[in-house]
């Protein structure tokens, strides 16, 4: 059962807690003057550091960073998060060659980068995959792997592809049984899911036989099929707008999680009707 994927960190830290990891990279990768500039651009009140200068008898980078630490700790939570985000942007912008080192450091803390934006390397997938077709399990694995690697568009493509694989199998089964559903490739994403789910009507109604009035069983089927179709419409929109095959916009980690949630709902609905 796949439940969640995490980075190598034992426990993902909060965004503001990334400051400690950034501090060590600032010390390793940037000069005294550059650190001051990055701190100011990130939103720290560096005028309070004006007395710290380099040179004979002056402050060291460690002393400068200690002072920056104190300024950071004096901020409230939202401002700390803002400073961390801005600091990451400044570090990548000013020294692109250190991006790999930054990504490695963030990964040990349970975070990754999408562009210049940090994101937690966790995604929830509450689904028992043991009964899924091998191709569907492979698609889920791709989604999680791409998410971990920061490829959000690829993750959306993979999770949407899982339903394509599932519905294509149902179309093929119905064709063999002499009940063709039409051209799978020619149908819209949501139409494929709708037609495939319609083949499960008898299975769902059988679940409630003898427990719920016949009229209410019909209503349950109507609303369940509507809910599945609407979830498929959401996924179809995500694939058009955010996947690496069709998307015009970069997907965020939140979009990936929402796509997974929709896909899991649809898969569970299909599984429940067997």
What is the number of other CB atoms lying within 10 angstroms of the CB of residue 247? Answer: 18
Structure tokens at 89: 């942007």
Q: In the prediction, which pLDDT does 2 show? A: 42
Long-range contact pairs involving 200-208 (C-beta distance under 8 Å, separation at least 24): 200/270, 200/273, 200/274, 201/225, 201/273, 203/273, 203/274, 204/272, 204/273, 207/272, 207/273
Indicate whether 4 belongs to any domain. no
The whole domain housing 242 covers 123-272
Provide the residue-wise pLDDT of the chain in tens; the chain has 274 residues: 344 444 334 455 888 999 999 999 999 999 999 999 999 999 999 899 888 888 767 788 999 999 999 999 999 989 999 999 999 999 999 999 999 899 888 888 888 887 788 888 777 777 677 767 677 778 888 888 888 777 888 889 999 999 999 999 999 999 999 999 999 999 999 999 999 999 999 988 998 888 989 899 999 999 999 999 999 999 999 999 988 766 567 788 888 889 999 998 999 899 888 7
Please tell me whether residues 95 and 42 are part of one structural domain. Answer: yes
**Pairing mode, if any, of strands 123-127 and 2-5?**
antiparallel
Alpha carbon distance 221, 200 (integer Å): 10
Q: Residue 29 pairs with which residues in a beta bridge?
A: none
Alpha-carbon gap, residue 256 to 219, rounded angstroms: 32
Q: Which of 98, 119, 140 is the last residue of a domain?
A: 119
CB contact at 8 A, 239 and 161:
no
Q: Quick one: pLDDT at residue 114?
A: 75
Residue 5's pLDDT is 43
Number of domains in the chain: 2
Same domain, yes or no: 92 and 181: no
Q: Say if residue 86 is in the same domain as residue 132.
A: no
**Max Cα-Cα span within the chain:** 89
d(CA 179, CA 181): 6
Give me the pLDDT at residue 259, please: 92
> CA 270, CA 54: separation in Å to the nearest integer?
67
Rg (CA), the chain: 25
What is the model's pTM?
0.65
Are both 127 and 105 inside the same structural domain?
A: no
Q: Is residue 106 domain-shared with residue 141, that is, in the same domain?
A: no
Angle between helices 77-94 and 19-29 (to 10 degrees): 30
Residues 97 and 224 reside in one and the same domain: no
The answer as to whether 1 is a domain residue is: no
């Amino acid at each position: 059962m796949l439940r969640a994927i995490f980075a190598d960190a034992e426990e993902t830290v909060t965004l503001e807690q990334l400051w400690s990891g950034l501090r060590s990279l600032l010390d390793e990768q940037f000069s005294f003057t550059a650190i001051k500039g990055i701190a100011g651009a990130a939103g720290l009140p560096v005028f309070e550091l004006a007395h710290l200068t380099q040179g004979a008898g002056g402050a060291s980078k460690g002393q400068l960073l200690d002072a920056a630490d104190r300024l950071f700790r004096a901020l409230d939570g939202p401002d700390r998060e803002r400073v961390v985000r801005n600091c990451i942007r400044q570090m990548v912008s000013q020294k692109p060659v250190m991006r790999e080192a930054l990504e490695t450091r963030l990964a040990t803390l349970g975070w990754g980068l999408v562009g210049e934006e940090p994101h937690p390397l966790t995604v929830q997938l509450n689904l028992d995959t043991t009964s899924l077709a091998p191709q569907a399990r492979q698609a889920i694995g791709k989604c999680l792997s791409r998410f971990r690697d920061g490829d959000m568009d690829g993750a959306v493509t993979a999770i949407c592809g899982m339903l394509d694989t599932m519905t294509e199998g149902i179309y093929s089964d119905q064709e063999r049984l002499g009940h063709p559903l039409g051209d799978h490739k020619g149908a819209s994403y949501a139409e494929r899911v709708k037609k495939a789910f319609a083949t499960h009507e008898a299975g769902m109604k059988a679940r409630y036989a003898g427990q719920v009035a016949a009229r209410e069983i019909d209503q349950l089927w109507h609303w369940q099929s509507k809910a599945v179709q609407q979830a498929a419409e959401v996924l179809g929109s995500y694939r058009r707008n955010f996947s690496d095959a069709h998307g015009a916009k970069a997907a965020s980690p939140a979009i990936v999680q929402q796509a997974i949630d929709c896909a899991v709902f649809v898969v569970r609905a299909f599984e429940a009707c067997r």
